[in-house]
């Protein structure tokens, strides 16, 4: 029996972002299908296995679907060894290419294909310079930036007639279920919630509820295509962000800073990359502003307080 609201497929949908979106879509009455490598306990949505590389029986789910979201990708929160860099890049590009292959063989393909991308594609921006928007060039140098460009190239090279495509350039998403926020909250509670590095680097961020809201907004709004920045309208510096974190979570408001050398050392010990903290990301969305999207949490103060 066909679901009256429609069917939405979320490739790589077993993680923090995918499950938040899946839960909301199910509440809205959609049938949700999760494409993943292995079934996880407590998963929201119908699970269908795929290897994110080759066509298989899973492609039948695409017939007549309302939308396909692709959130597939190896986590960037790791040490950038050559092996990990290859996994990060190939997991994104391969999954994007095979979804394009699946859509092309559909008799009735999904109406819209929304593919994850990254807001880190823009140049490091410091000081009082205006933020990047969708009119800015995505020509920044670095590994993460190269991945973003390759990801979007694979996506837009796979254009299919009459299928609307949106590349979602996602900023740091703040929520309970995953990502950077739980780690930063734990450090703040331990008294380590001071500025990180110089503290002047910008953070473009998004509350998890606004991630879900924007994803559904882009899915339904047929006038939007190409690349869209998913970021709150008010980026903050790392110092401002950590001030807000201490005000809510730090014992007595105390937070020792972490100078840049300590960030590099900590990254080595934790098996991650220092650029995740030290790069300055100052990004907003002119597309969402023009389309009058209403953020639930446009300011960092309200966003962090909602995550107490």
CA distance 92 to 87: 8
Q: What is the pLDDT of residues 91-124, one digit of tens each?
A: 999 999 999 999 999 999 999 999 999 999 999 9
What's the mean per-residue pLDDT of the chain? 92
DSSP state of 12: T
Which tokens hold the place of 194? 């001071």
Residue 224 near residue 199 (C-beta atoms within 8 A):
no
Q: How confident is the model at residue 19 (pLDDT cuts 50, 70, 90)?
A: very high
Is a pLDDT exceeding 90 seen at residue 141? no
Collapsing DSSP states into helix, strand and coil, what is residue 38?
coil
Higher-pLDDT residue of 79, 173: 173
Domains recognised in the chain with CATH numbers: 7-176+206-232+283-297 (3.40.50.720)
Per-residue pLDDT, 28: 97
Is a pLDDT exceeding 90 seen at residue 130? yes
Q: How confident is the model at residue 62 (pLDDT cuts 50, 70, 90)?
A: very high
Q: How confident is the model at residue 274 (pLDDT cuts 50, 70, 90)?
A: low
Distance between start and end Cα atoms, the chain: 42
Higher-pLDDT residue of 179, 87: 87
Report, in this order, helix, strand and coil percent for the chain, each rounded to 5.
Answer: 40, 15, 45
> Can you point out the beta strands (E) in the chain?
7-11, 31-36, 46-49, 67-70, 112-118, 164-170, 172-174, 202-203, 205-207, 226-230, 236-237
Higher-pLDDT residue of 273, 47: 47
Average pLDDT for 292-299: 98
Average pLDDT for 258-272: 67
């Amino acid at each position: 029996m066909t679901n009256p609201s429609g069917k939405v497929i979320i490739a790589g949908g077993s993680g923090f972002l995918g499950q938040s979106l899946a839960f909301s879509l199910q509440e809205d009455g959609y049938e949700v299908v999760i494409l993943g490598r292995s079934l996880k306990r407590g998963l929201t949505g119908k699970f269908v296995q795929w290897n994110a590389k080759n066509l298989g029986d899973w492609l039948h789910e695409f017939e007549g679907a309302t939308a396909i979201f692709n959130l597939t990708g190896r986590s960037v929160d790791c040490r950038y060894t050559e092996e990990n860099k290859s996994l990060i890049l190939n997991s994104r590009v391969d999954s994007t290419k095979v979804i394009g292959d699946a859509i092309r063989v559909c008799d009735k393909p999904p109406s819209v294909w929304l593919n994850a991308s990254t807001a880190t594609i823009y140049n490091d921006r410091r000081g009082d310079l205006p933020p990047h928007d969708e009119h800015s060039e995505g020509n920044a140098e670095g590994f993460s930036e190269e991945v973003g460009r390759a990801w979007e190239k694979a996506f837009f090279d796979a254009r299919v007639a009459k299928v609307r495509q949106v590349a979602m350039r996602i900023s740091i998403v703040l929520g309970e279920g995953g990502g950077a926020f739980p780690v930063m909250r734990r450090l703040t509670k331990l008294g380590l919630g001071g500025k990180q590095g110089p503290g002047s680097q910008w953070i473009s961020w998004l509350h998890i509820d606004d991630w879900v809201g924007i994803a559904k907004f882009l899915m339904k709004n047929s006038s939007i295509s190409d690349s869209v920045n998913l970021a709150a309208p008010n980026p903050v510096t790392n110092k401002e962000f950590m001030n807000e974190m201490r005000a809510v979570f730090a014992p007595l408001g105390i937070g020792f800073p972490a100078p840049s050398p300590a960030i590099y050392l900590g990254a080595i010990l934790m098996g991650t990359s220092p650029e995740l903290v030290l790069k300055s990301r100052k990004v907003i969305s002119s597309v969402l502003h023009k389309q009058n999207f209403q953020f639930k949490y446009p300011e960092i103060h309200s966003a962090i307080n909602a995550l107490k």
